[in-house]
Amino acid sequence: MFSLDRGGTRLATIAHHTLWLDCTCGRSAPLAVRDLLGRAELVTVADVVARARCAACWARRVKAVTISFEGGSAEAMRGALATRAGEG
């Protein structure tokens, strides 16, 4: 069973990301964080994992979580260039 120390990342800090949940049955499913915001019972990634149920096997067996940014690659590159420019 998948476990997160200290509750994991707060959803509010990753509003433009997608959580990919992998079930032990082999299915992976995306959850847009923006769609989860505002639900009082869902504050952290751990809250989402604790309540997630696989649509294929209906089990609550998350084996892995991946947080991915779903913005344009140009935005990501601008951020990387700004960081790199500030370092030198």
Strands (E), 1-88: 17-23, 28-32, 62-69
The structure tokens 């209906």 sit at 58
Q: Is the pLDDT of residue 43 over 70?
A: yes
Distance CA 3, CA 77 (A): 32
Cβ-contact 65, 45 below 8 angstroms = yes
Average pLDDT, integer, range 43-57: 93
**Residue 86: its pLDDT value, please?**
55
Q: Is the pLDDT of residue 37 over 70?
A: yes
**Residue 70: its pLDDT value, please?**
74
**Residue 8: its pLDDT value, please?**
80
**Residue 56: its pLDDT value, please?**
95
**Residue 88: its pLDDT value, please?**
47
Distance CA 32, CA 15 (A): 8
The structure tokens 């991915």 sit at 68
**Residue 5: its pLDDT value, please?**
62
In terms of pLDDT, which residue wins out, 74 or 44?
44
Average pLDDT, integer, range 13-32: 93
DSSP 88: -
